[in-house]
Chain A
Amino acid sequence: MRVKPELQIFPLRLLSEKTAKPMIDEIENLDFVSKVGTRGFSSRDGVDYKVGWIWIEMDSDSDDNNESIEKICQNYIKFGYEIQRGRFTKYRVTTSDYLKGLVKEE
């Protein structure tokens, strides 16, 4: 199973929906990006959410690819961010997926 590399974007402030959505749309449209995941904090009433982490799964971890992502970050995030390379999200099914009935076996 080939595990694709990921970048983790960690903005130093929580991003509002207004900032995050267009940014993530732009990232998604890059052709070397296969999956984008986010995690953040939402209010209990569901009205508000703030994005804390953005995980970008890429076909390959090249300098060009990383630069494209950097450019987008610089454009949208004005108060600093960290980018880390590696693997941050699950890439295999785990026990709790089975327990939640999320695994469909044909």
Chain B
Amino acid sequence: MESRKLYIKSMEKKFKEKPDDRKTQFYNYGTWTQSKRKTAYVEASKKMEAKRGIPGYNPDVGLAQGQRLLMPYQLNHTDYIVDMDDLHFMNNAAMQQIWDDIRRTVIVGMDMAHNILEKRLGKEVTPETINHYLELINHTMPGGAVIQEHMCEVNPELAEDCYVKFFTGDDELADQIDKRFLIDINKQFPEDQAEKIKNAIGKSSYQVVRAPTLVGRVCDGGTISRWSGMQIGMTMMGAYNMAAGEAATADFSYAAKHASVIGMASMMPARRARGANEPGGMPFGVLADCVQSNRLYPEDAGRHTLEVIAAGAVVYDQIYLGSYMSGGVGFTQYASATYTDNILEDFVYYGIDYIKDKYGDFCTVEPTVENIQKISTDIGVYCLETYENYPTVMESHFGGSQRAACISAASGCTTAMATGSATSGINAWYQSQLLHKEEMGRLGFYGYDLQDQCGSSNSFSFRSDEGLPFEMRGPNYPNYAMNVGHMSAYSGIATAPHAARGDAWTLSPLIKVAFADDSLVFDFGHVTDCYGKGCMREFVPAGERDAIIP
């Protein structure tokens, strides 16, 4: 079967002529060494020491001209070509914002509160009262006062990114909600997906709270639901003319802070030394539902899978394992291997073509051990031999861990798409790792495959302390917490079967809808593209403090 060879990229596009507004700027492109039109910056200092001492990896210089040269990276399915340094999350405002936007989101159901109002307090809840509530909560959530006099309020400029929106599965109710606050399921999703979502949600209604990015920065993830709960409580009292502190207030507090709350990430055990609502507690399926390409490109299962992988690479590998749990600069290239240079791209689309070619369609293959092993082997060997037949690809992924992640990601995602089962997919990932080790006689870093040697055993095992359907697993799943270079692909494997089947969501329709919101700062519908904007210094993040600094 012919491979698309997406890594041998020919971008034979014509670029549109634009007015040259960079005439007066000149600078040195990191990767260019000899230029016919030398500029003042191109000095002749031939050899430069590599500054960054990542053991075993050598950021290299060629015929240097006073410039540290970096390998250019192309971001998967974009035209952005960037330096490695642009991909460190510290240098990239978009990468910072993807995590900010996820962490500062909290979904709070409204049914419980409405029930309290109607049954305990005899007040009427109508679309009009809901609209009034929504207007009020959008005042209080960024830090406006509503009940008491003489309160300190937050400068709105610091909370421009803060708002509260609303969604429901009830079309009749949705029609009457103020459009400024509504996440309109019918408008945001293709028809078939919208139907599935509305059926799943039913007549319930939810508010989606985005706390200010700045709150998460000064405080932590655990603060978000408190900030939200506080303001929701106050607003309920304001909107429905309640006493500020009657017995029923406790019901609202409880609902707004706990019972009706859906956070993005759960708490973790004490040994992780981390609070709640941080990346370690976020299941793969949740991340998958934050990413929106399946509703924007419903025909392209590969794209959605790859976009989720790109999101997972930054959130789980770079930010969580690479910073929360270890810090420093070592992890960027483990993550970037999965979303640059169109290598994993090629592998995944090969897998898709393979399924169509051999089986006709997605989700038609029975998840027997024979089928899982056959698909995983065929895809795994294709990827291995691509590295071996094309030195360009082998050298781009110079580390065994990078190759291991991409090869097994392809095996896992393909098997998941073929069988319609993420559990089969992750089982295939592990088979692929074992095969890789046998084929090459090497695998990853020292300890890379700790989880891969146990993984076959825990794929289909759902025990009380160690086992879950794969979409519900997350970084804190016992063995995943250890090693980088896995969880980006795990996110992809969780979502691949759903993308293939055309499902409207991976784990939760509520999270899917909550992130189908054009007002978000990060573009969850175009993940690598948004990273690219961050690399180009074109991305405007939230949480800037210009209003309060000299």
Binding site for B on A (CB under 8 A): 1-3, 5, 10, 12, 20-21, 24, 28, 33-42, 44, 46, 49, 51-53, 55, 61, 82, 84-99, 102-106
Contact = CB atoms under 8 A, between A and B. Distances in A.
Interface stretch (B85-93, B111-119, B134-142): B85-93
Query: Nearest 9 CB-CB pairs, A to B?
Result: A96-B85, A38-B62, A46-B47, A37-B32, A106-B24, A3-B15, A40-B62, A86-B11, A89-B31
A80 B58 CA distance: 25
Contacts of B81: 87-91
Interface of B: 8-12, 15, 17-18, 20, 22, 24-37, 40-41, 47, 49-50, 58, 60-63, 69, 71-72, 74, 79, 81-83, 85-86, 91-93, 391-392, 395, 534-537
Contacts of A104: 25-27, 40-41
Nearest to A51: B62
A39 B71 contact: yes
Given A34-B36, A90-B82, A96 B31 contact: no
Given A35-B35, A99-B91, A1 B20 contact: yes
Given A37-B34, A39-B69, A84-B10, A93 B49 contact: no
Contacts, number: 155
A30 B41 CA distance: 23
Nearest to B68: A100
A38 B536 contact: no
A30 to B, nearest CB: 10
Contact of A98 (B12, B28, B395, B537): B537
Contacts of A102: 27-28, 41
A84 B30 contact: no
17 contacts: A28-B34, A35-B35, A38-B33, A39-B31, A41-B58, A42-B58, A46-B49, A88-B74, A89-B29, A90-B72, A91-B29, A94-B83, A94-B536, A95-B535, A97-B28, A97-B83, A102-B28
A52 B395 contact: yes
A35 B65 CA distance: 13
Nearest to B58: A41
Given A35-B35, A37-B29, A46-B49, 12 more contacts: A1-B22, A2-B15, A36-B35, A39-B61, A41-B58, A49-B63, A89-B32, A89-B81, A93-B22, A95-B93, A97-B27, A97-B28
